[in-house]
Amino acid sequence: MSHAAGHGAEMAEAPRAEEELHHHPGPRTYVWIAVILSIITALEVAIYYIPSLSGLLVPFLLAFSAVKFVLVVGYFMHLKFDSPLFKRLFVTGLVLAAIVFFIVLATFFFGAEHPGLTG
């Protein structure tokens, strides 16, 4: 009986222990991520000065910026390896920030008949 109860307690603890165990990358991975981030930053600055790429500058810059963002959040902040709840909390903030952006944008573009509002 007591053995069964003890086994049950172990089973109940198992998910928590699983949550506690975070598999974070090692220093070598962190250095590689930093190298990739440096190369992307150099590419961002380089394409800024290439006139023939001016038409594609904005999509390239946004893509590079997104890759850097994901690498830092995923590896340095360990969001790739931690509980999905942290990811949900952070993404909620990002989505709300995007909503704020579109509301402000809409205020400026559709509120043209109210110059006092949009300056």
Residues making contact with other proteins (CB under 8 A): 15-16, 19-31, 33-34, 37-38, 41, 44-45, 48, 54, 57-58, 61-62, 64-65, 68-69, 72-73, 75-77, 82-83, 85-86, 89-94, 96-98, 100-101, 104-105, 108, 119
As measured in angstroms, the least distance from the Cβ of 6 to other proteins is 20
Contact indicator for 75, 33 with CB cutoff of 8 Å: yes
Closer residue to other proteins (CB): 9 or 105: 105
As measured in angstroms, the least distance from the Cβ of 12 to other proteins is 11
CA 84-89-94 angle, 5° bins: 120
**CA-to-CA distance for 85 and 97, rounded, in angstroms?**
19
**CA-to-CA distance for 43 and 112, rounded, in angstroms?**
39
Q: Which of 86, 85, 80, 90 is CA-nearest to residue 24?
A: 80
Closer residue to other proteins (CB): 7 or 31: 31
Closer residue to other proteins (CB): 4 or 55: 55
HSE-up of residue 95 (Cα within 13 Å, Cβ side): 6
Closer residue to other proteins (CB): 90 or 110: 90
